[in-house]
Chain A
Amino acid sequence: MTGYTGVTAGALEVLRGAFGFRFFAPFEPTAATLGPSLEAAVSVPTTSLSPSALLSVPVPIQVTVEGGSTPVVVAAILSFFVATVLAVLVTYRFVEGYRRTKARPILLLAIGMFLLAPAPMFVRLLAGNVASVPLSAQLLLTTLSELCGLLVILYAVYTT
């Protein structure tokens, strides 16, 4: 069971690395980043993130990815952004529908949809960039949000 959760953690680690400011930060080339392997770590020595270090490092912006081949990682990130935008749009249309019709089930659908789709995506985006949020807590939070969203949608569907 913990092994499976590890898989989830690994998949989210891709996002965590990709959306971190580290992704865009210049960093000192290491043997790993200079090598042909794309498995080089995204991790950047924290010392290189201080302003003085940023100025003193003359290396152009480099991006390395981990967790898969570069095209797949890029496709995953793009797809994640498309899904997030769609999730916000769908929730917005439900809210709009509620404001137009004042029908309570549509309001419930809007709340449920928000908890099911955009909310966990926001959590992934935000928590992925904050190192102080442990991945396990992030996973639990997103799963619970989805669960609550489904419960609200269940109530909406069940009572109509």
Chain B
Amino acid sequence: MPLASITAVASALTAVLGLFVAHLAYRGYRRHESRTMRALAIGIVSIAVVPYLILYLFDPILDLSDAASLLAITLSHTIGLAVIYRTFDR
């Protein structure tokens, strides 16, 4: 199915790009001691990279149920977003 293949490629690309953006943000944190950049790096990994790993790596290996992998993904989203949100309150 072509649509599924496009989605698979796009999600792999998202994960790779997420890793790259997170790397840049982390470098920004190291250079400028910017906590916002560190939070952004953690947030992007949690939103774009971890869900990909859960779906395409841990789910097949651990044979998670649909709900379990969904819970893991949304928890990852929540943690990443909470880390970013925390930087606003200072």
Contacts and interface: CB of A to CB of B under 8 A. Distances in A.
A94 to B, nearest CB: 9
Contacts, number: 140
Nearest to A96: B88
Closest 8 CB pairs of A and B: A68-B67, A67-B66, A68-B65, A86-B81, A76-B71, A79-B74, A83-B77, A10-B66
B53 to A, nearest CB: 12
Contacts of A151: 17
Interface of B: 1, 3-8, 10-11, 13-14, 17-18, 20-21, 24-25, 28, 37, 40, 44, 47-48, 55-56, 59-60, 65-71, 73-75, 77-78, 81-82, 84-85, 88
Nearest to B59: A7
B81 A117 contact: yes
**Interface size class for chain A?**
35 or more
A14 B59 CA distance: 15
